[in-house]
Structure 1
Amino acid sequence: MRESLRKFLLFVLLHACSIWVLQAQEYKNEFGIQSDNDAYLWYGQDRYYTNGFFISYRHAPDQSKFRTRKLEKVVYSFSIGQQMYTPFSGFVPERELQDRPFAGYLFGRGQVNFLYKNEQVLKVGLSLGTVGPNSFAREAQNLLHNTIGLYSTSGWDDQIGNSPAFNLHSAYAALIYRRSNDSFDLSLESHLDLGTTFTGMGAGLLFRIGDINQFFHSAYHQARVGHNGNIKAATEREFYFYAKPQLHYVAYDATIQGSFFVDNSPVTFAVRPLVFEQKIGVNYSSRRFSLDYSLTFRSKELQSPARQHQFGTISSSYRF
């Protein structure tokens, strides 16, 4: 009887310790910064989607309140961002030479990420903001250029006019294949956007190679946060390279076509409905920090003399 009691108490102690160790490795909150810029290609390009800046906060509530046989984790995400677009240069005062409209987009977004045990991911979100002078893109680009000693801009008087921005976002991902030693995987990626700024959809494939985690623990899906998690991460530190070829169908883009409501933009163009995008990058994530660098290459986006475009993205996050 005593021996059985000792074994039972030992089992309870070991189980409690394992839970404590698992929970001690979790951080419920994450603060992130992302910067997009074509200067990150390091050869002096400054055109089209020329700059983007985003600040985000993510929180993982107590997973035991959401956990089902299928669902592993829920993550709430809140972000603010600004994007700016120019023709082939930020200095094009002649309206007839502008091969893409000057445009700015300022928004706030709330999103919920559902991460499933079978490594499917569903993300749904809502963005509210503005396109046009109220986005302060002109002021932001002038401030940036003055700060780092670049040329003066000209042409923003012809930018896309003010328009309210309301957008619904959804994305879905599903694991197709993973090597048994967790060094390579292949997954489906898709998205759908509906709203007054961007409307369209896309689908592609994601390839990752290196030290990778399950989707519900991976930095790629902003899932390094957790609270009372059930399944242990495959690796404490992620370090992997990734590639994502994707085809987009573009139904509407207010930064190219102007306001969804009124014709208040002096320079607009029609969009090209099919746009191919290739993204390649590298990610490193420890328990507290993540750092990501990627390059995005896009085919022509509008029906004008504008060419295909490329830009880089640098993002980092801190968990607490």
Structure 2
Amino acid sequence: MKIKLLALTLCLLSGVSLFAQNRGHEIGFQSDNDSFLGQGSDRYYTNGFFLFYRFAKDPLTMGKRMRDRVANSVFTVELGQKIYNAQSGNLPSADYVDRPFAGYLYLGLTGNVLYKNETSVRLGAKVGVIGPAAGGYTVQKFIHNTFGFYELNSWQYQVRNAAQVNLNLDVDKLIARASAADLTFSGYLNLGTGFNAVGIGPMLRLGNFNQLYQSVSTQSTASKVNNNLLHKTELFFYYKPQVNAVVYDATAQGNIFKDHPEPGTQEIVGDINHFVFSNKLGVSLASSRIVLDASVFINTREVKQMVKSTHQWGSLTLLYRFD
């Protein structure tokens, strides 16, 4: 009898442990700002805010062939806004506008399929708008008034309104792994009315990380299955350099279907660099309930007129996991 009770207790505890690890839903936000780095700058990509809801699909709903290959699948609904400045939001004249002002507001949906061989494929679509309708000036003015920052005077130099429909494809593939380090190939392709670019590069992780099919690195911490993870809690440093070939960027060049600058406007359009080198460094944590990522981005000049040869910003992501 005691043996049966002990066996039952162990089974229940095992179930609780499994239940604690498998959280099928996540909700949270990401905040980007160049002021996070304490430089006193307010330029170029200066602010971004994003809301996320993620949910994992139960693999039992897949066909047998897919179940044999797929370890996890996650869907994301995202609402986001990005704000771009020139070298400052308070300029003496148009002569100092080295990058157009722009707001970009969108709603996105992404499907993330993660294979047992540690290849992940994310396909997403975003619909939105650039220009005054994106609310960039309104949000930046609110931030500056709330925190006592300087007065804005240059948003008349922003790009005009234009509807946006954009697709993105991201691929990650494990290259090699040791006990506390691994190397991943990462690449992306953006196509649409606003953003056309491709980028590739490696990602190095150091610390306690999990497989790519259930990790912060691939936005796949939501899961409904027990994937025999390497660690119950992820805590690792990562570095991700990337070479980007940029064909079109609507936040710098405006509406892709119109001549620039548009007649009768004060729009200033940037002449973009078609090759941009980016660096991302960060620390990630994923526990049973909380996902946290803090990172720094450093990009080379994206628009040829930019006074500064590089620009950088900080990013903070916080997600809450639940069943």
For residue 69 of structure 1, give the secondary structure of its aligned residue in structure 2.
Answer: helix
Q: Does 1:51 align with 2:25?
A: no
Distance 1:249 1:25 in 2: 39
Cα shift at 1:63: 2.0
Cα shift at 1:261: 1.7
The answer as to whether partners of 1:171 and 1:191 remain within 8 angstroms in 2 is yes
Q: Does 1:81 align with 2:80?
A: yes
Select the residue among 248, 251, 254 that pairs with 1:255: 251
Q: RMSD value over aligned CA atoms?
A: 2.0
Q: Does 1:267 align with 2:268?
A: yes
* Matched residue, 2:302: 301
Runs (5+) with no aligned partner, structure 1: 1-5
Distance 2:76 2:306 in 1: 38
* Deviates most, 307-316 or 19-28: 19-28
Distance 2:20 2:189 in 1: 37
* Deviates most, 10-19 or 78-87: 10-19
The answer as to whether partners of 2:80 and 2:106 remain within 8 angstroms in 1 is yes
Q: Does 1:287 align with 2:288?
A: yes
Cα shift at 1:168: 0.4
Distance 1:86 1:24 in 2: 44
Select the residue among 230, 239, 253 that pairs with 1:234: 230
For residue 231 of structure 2, give the secondary structure of its aligned residue in structure 1.
Answer: coil
* Matched residue, 2:21: 25
The answer as to whether partners of 1:276 and 1:299 remain within 8 angstroms in 2 is yes
The answer as to whether partners of 2:165 and 2:193 remain within 8 angstroms in 1 is yes
Q: Percent identity?
A: 37
Select the residue among 231, 239, 242 that pairs with 1:243: 239
* Matched residue, 1:204: 201
The one-letter code sitting in structure 2 at the alignment partner of 1:303 is: K
Select the residue among 209, 212, 216 that pairs with 1:219: 216
For residue 295 of structure 2, give the secondary structure of its aligned residue in structure 1.
Answer: strand
The one-letter code sitting in structure 1 at the alignment partner of 2:167 is: L
For residue 68 of structure 2, give the secondary structure of its aligned residue in structure 1.
Answer: coil
Distance 1:93 1:160 in 2: 19
For residue 262 of structure 1, give the secondary structure of its aligned residue in structure 2.
Answer: coil
Q: Any idea what the Cα deviations from partners look like across 1:38-60, whole Å, max 9, x if unmatched?
A: 00111211100000000000001
Aligned length: 310
Q: Any idea what the Cα deviations from partners look like across 1:65-111, whole Å, max 9, x if unmatched?
A: 23522111110100000000010001125112100001010000000
Cα shift at 1:208: 0.4
Cα shift at 1:216: 1.3
Q: Any idea what the Cα deviations from partners look like across 1:97-143, whole Å, max 9, x if unmatched?
A: 10000101000000000011010000000000000000000000000
TM-score normalised to structure 2 length? 0.91
Distance 1:92 1:38 in 2: 18
The answer as to whether partners of 2:59 and 2:67 remain within 8 angstroms in 1 is no
Cα shift at 1:285: 1.5
* Matched residue, 1:3: none
* Deviates most, 129-138 or 304-313: 304-313
Distance 2:13 2:31 in 1: 41
Cα shift at 1:64: 2.0
For residue 67 of structure 2, give the secondary structure of its aligned residue in structure 1.
Answer: coil
Distance 2:108 2:298 in 1: 25
Select the residue among 30, 34, 37 that pairs with 2:30: 34
Q: Any idea what the Cα deviations from partners look like across 1:147-199, whole Å, max 9, x if unmatched?
A: 011001111112100000100010000000111x2x11100000000011110
TM-score normalised to structure 1 length? 0.92
Distance 1:201 1:59 in 2: 27
The answer as to whether partners of 1:53 and 1:83 remain within 8 angstroms in 2 is yes
Distance 1:44 1:224, change over 3 A: same
Cα shift at 1:233: 1.4
Distance 2:53 2:169 in 1: 18
